[in-house]
Amino acid sequence: MNMNYRIVDRKTYYRKDVFRHFTEDNKCSASITARIDVTGLAAFSKSTGSKFYLNFLYIVSKVLNSREDYRMGYLWRTDELVCYDVIHPAQYVFHDDTETCSIVYTEYREDYDLFYAGALRDIRRAKESREFGFDAANHLNWFDASYIPWISYDSLNVELPDGYLWFPPIVHWGKYREENGRLVMPVSVRLNHAVADGYLIANVFRLLDREIERFTAR
């Protein structure tokens, strides 16, 4: 699986001053929760007999791989800022009887059919093994993608330890609901402030809207 990356030269990094400030003076993250229109995606999933959850997981993965700012990483052993060639989703499989989750590392493939088949296979294996599956040391270029299907929430925050430079995105989404004849779904995006600001986080939602439109026009 591709874990290739390039080392980012901090002297020429276009966010070098912001990066220094938010890695030395004020280590913090930023997150935005917003509702997106998934009317077309829900209709597409129903008409094709495909799973809405996996379709959105594919779209999220494609969006986050479309720009280098979302593929940043920090190698603490060598103190290097890196940009990965590709990042993959770490999804979560819920077990109803134990009310626990298994972490599923699914390889992102730009080819939708390959990604969909692989994600289904990974979910099936997780349901069979029921292992927690956490293995962050061997999955550096992975971002958290967590579905919260029980509620349609208005706000969600993910807190990480102060001073912990975790750059991969953390994305959550909840149950969609009808508003004014449209289906809207809450989505939360968290990024480290050293590599992203409000514009870059907000841009994820703009890209999601655009990619959903393209995807459902297939």
> What is the predicted pLDDT for the residue at 34?
97
- Sequential DSSP letters for 1-38: ----EEE--TTT-TTHHHHHIIIII---EEEEEEEEE-
Domains and CATH numbers, the chain: 5-216 (3.30.559.10)
Mean pLDDT score, 176-197? 97
> What is the predicted pLDDT for the residue at 1?
58
pLDDT in tens, 109-150: 999 999 999 999 999 999 898 888 888 777 889 999 999 999
Q: What percent of the chain has pLDDT over 70?
A: 98
* Tokens encoding 205: 């939602």
Computed over every residue of the chain, the mean pLDDT equals 94
Q: Are 166 and 139 in contact (CB under 8 A)?
A: no
Confidence tier at 2 by pLDDT (50, 70, 90): low
pLDDT of residue 46 exceeding 70, the answer is yes
Give 195's Cβ-side CA count (13 Å radius): 21
Confidence tier at 30 by pLDDT (50, 70, 90): very high
